[in-house]
Amino acid sequence: MCEGDFRQVGPHAPGTAQFPRRGIAQEQGVPAYIVFSNATLLDMAAKQPCSMEELMDVSGVGHVKAERYGAAFLHEISRYTHTHKEEL
């Protein structure tokens, strides 16, 4: 689990894992839920993965999605938790 508490913010707040999903979906021309569902984002926010191994424990994240999108989401979670450490 990453340092900080991403759960208090949730997946729809500015600066959270929601934004990589939206950008990736726009780049690929697919609906955002194709990248990760809202339920997956909520589980990601609750579990706060810091590694690809931890990301694989998030409901809705399989090998293919972890390989395709994992780095972007892990980076955003890490960035957010470190940037907002005092607020969390």
DSSP code, position 15: T
Question: Are 3 and 83 contacting, i.e. CB atoms less than 8 angstroms apart?
Answer: no
* pTM for the predicted model, two decimal places: 0.76
Which H helix or E strand runs over 8? none
Mind listing the pLDDT tens digit of every residue in the chain (88 residues)? 665 555 454 445 544 556 789 999 999 999 999 999 999 998 998 888 999 999 999 999 999 999 999 999 999 888 887 776 665 5
What's the confidence (pLDDT) of residue 79? Answer: 85
Helix 18-28 crosses helix 63-83 at what angle (to 10 degrees)? 140
